[in-house]
Amino acid sequence: MAASCVAASELLNNIKQISALRPKASYAVRAVSTTSPQCHAQLPQRARSAPQQLVGVVGLEIHAQINSSTKLFSGAPVRFSAPPNSLVSFFDASLPGTLPVLNKRCVEAAVMTGLALNCAVNRKSLFDRKHYFYADLPAGYQITQQRLPIAVDGVLTYSLLGGKKRNQVMRKNVTIKQIQLEQDSGKSLHDDVRSQTLIDLNRAGVGLMELVMEPDMSCGEEAAAAVRELQLILQALGTCQGNMSEGQLRVDANVSVHRPGEPLGVRTEVKNINSIRYLARAIDYEIQRQIDVLQRGGTVQNETRAYDSKSGETLPMRDKEGLQDYRFMPEPNLPPLILYEDDASLPTGIDACQVVVVQKIKEGLPELPSVKRDRLVQTYGILPEHSFTLVNEDGLVDYFEAVLKATKKEPRKVIGWVTNELLGHLKQQDMSVCQSPISPSALAELLELQETGHISSSVAKQVFQEMWRSPGKTALQITQEQDLGLVSDTAQLHIICQKVVDSHPDEVHAIRSGNKKVLNKLMGLVQKETKGRADPVLVRAILQKKTS
């Protein structure tokens, strides 16, 4: 990858986008104006309030790449893994004389995200320059919203599965301090062979929403659940694709430890976390490391650390030593960003297409994951933990509802097939729901066969496996080909039942002395004889008679 990259000096020859020199008048939205021992969730009440116990404190800073076809202040396209420096406008490369043109779509995405996270959306927000000196930041500063961000004071509600069986849904809140719009930087690629650093500016200027959370969480598991919920919300809104491994969602974890009731401890900031699983591990490792340091009589340093997923450790990063002076200043080329409450509040002469109206975005908010889960529980009578499984898997709710449409089987019975059989098979082969070889209608047909008494439930599972192996074959075809239909020939069942009764005198004795549960064992034996095909209702009746 590095070899095909273009060195900084060659950059200007490679700029394909020559679009950013738009006159000021065309400003779009111008602003005319785990399981961790430290987790509170799992500690018994006594341990939680014990003053000597050190507990973790976690606050996340999350950068979400805005899902937009163009960058925050230029018309250059946004795409992942395009050839290096193929998506760079003059503005992105910071050529003198270029000016920022605010992308309306990015503002709408931030407003939508703010509304979905219960934030107060500021009718006026400001842009500032934050100075860094990195080769991948050609202007020498990033445009961000330091003084007055677009949204503040929100809440993200997320849930954890707790309790002994881990099936109790516990709701928790984390406060969103603010959401700010800012530019992404480019990427530096180090070519060790030629000992050069190469610069790719494709990402430079892509719109980001930075979400700053208050330090309300206490362990990796909570942070992981909160980020997963955020990811689902952003995906439902369509404001960010949320893929952590592609860097669309980047999470920095601030971690400290303290004794409850005492002031917060010194924090470290853990970076380089590219999956939710690693986020939980990195945080729990860091909490334990800090506890160990303090218990050995040491002090925690305020530093940036990187998570190494191979070793599972966090290690100090060398590049950010010392305090940075960002020399913040107002961005002189961008006026304040003004939003309007509703159409009625638009000043005369303002074109509604050129501005962002909060009310319109509110009306267009889609169903959020938490609402979807509640709806699924209420409409179908399924368990809350099943609603989590459904909503967590891309496409699974649609699949489930499509099966329901095609069968008379109760939703509560269908859910097990979808979350156990189907999802189990998909996970085993690392497949997504849309890749399933069994379509919703094919599964519905199988469940119908079972529901109408043509096959038993254990045979249904065999047929499912066969359908998985031979896509295209219907449940009925498989049942007929392999002669798996329910055996309801009473005479034949009588013979089999008699055989089982005769060869199990102890069980028969137990049933006769009142232990009716043992009948299930005999039923199981009959099913074994018939390879699961015997009509269970008939078998039960026959066995009951023979053991009475």
Q: Using CB under 6 A, list all residues that contact ligand ADP.
A: 57-61, 212-215, 254-256, 264-265, 267
| Beta bridge partners of residue 183, listed in sequence order | 207
- Least Cβ distance, residue 293 to ligand ADP (angstroms): 15
Q: Which residue blocks in 140-269 are alpha helix, DSSP H?
A: 220-237
Rank residues 180 and 202 by Cβ distance to ligand ADP and give the closer one.
180
CA distance 143 to 334: 10
Assess contact for 210 and 224: CB atoms under 8 A: no
**Toward ligand ADP, which CB reaches closer, 57 or 201?**
57
Region at 263 (left for phi over 0; alpha for psi -120 to 50; beta for the rest): beta
- Angstrom distance (rounded) from CA 299 to CA 318: 19
CB of residue 41 vs ligand ADP: minimum separation in angstroms?
Answer: 17
CB of 207 to ligand ADP, least distance (A): 21
CB of 304 to ligand ADP, least distance (A): 11
Cβ distance to ligand ADP smaller for residue 234 or 460: 234
322, 294 Cβ separation under 8 angstroms: no
- Looking at the Cβ atoms of 169 and 212, the one nearer to ligand ADP is 212
Which residues contact residue 245 at a Cβ distance below 8 angstroms, ignoring those fewer than 6 apart? 274, 275
> Which residue type, as a one-letter code, is found at position 137?
L
Residue 142: CB minimum distance to ligand ADP, A? 14
* Residue whose CB is less far from ligand ADP, 34 or 98: 34
Which CB sits closer to ligand ADP, 213 or 230?
213
User: Whose Cβ is closer to ligand ADP: residue 290's or residue 450's?
Assistant: 290
Measured CA to CA, the distance from residue 464 to residue 335 in angstroms comes to: 62
3-state secondary structure 461-525: HHHHHHHHHCCCCCHHHHHHHCCCCCECCHHHHHHHHHHHHHCCHHHHHHHHCCCCCHHHHHHHH
Nearest-approach distance from CB 333 to ligand ADP, in angstroms: 25
Min dist CB 44 to ligand ADP, Å, is: 24
Q: How far is the CB of 111 from ligand ADP (least distance, A)?
A: 21
CB of 177 to ligand ADP, least distance (A): 7
Residue nearest to ligand ADP (CB): 59
Query: Closer to ligand ADP at the Cβ: 212 or 377?
Result: 212
Residue 264 or 431 with smaller CB distance to ligand ADP: 264
CB of 212 to ligand ADP, least distance (A): 5
Q: Which is nearer to ligand ADP, 100 or 114 (CB)?
A: 114
Residue of 289, 311, 216 whose CA lies nearest to 303: 289
N residues, the chain: 548
Report whether 279 contacts 223 (CB < 8 A).
yes
Least separation in angstroms between CB 60 and ligand ADP: 6
* C-beta separation of 519 from 545 below 8 A: no
d(CA 224, CA 249): 13
The nearest distance, CB 149 to ligand ADP, in angstroms, is 11
β strands within 27-184, DSSP E: 55-65, 120-121, 124-125, 128-131, 141-144, 151-162, 168-183
Among residues 217 and 500, whose Cβ is nearest to ligand ADP?
217
Is the separation of the CB atoms in 170 and 164 below 8 Å?
Answer: no
Q: Which residues pair with 121 in a beta bridge?
A: 151
Contacts of 62 (CB under 8 A, 6+ apart): 210, 211, 212, 213, 227, 230, 249, 250, 251, 252
Q: Which is nearer to ligand ADP, 43 or 55 (CB)?
A: 55
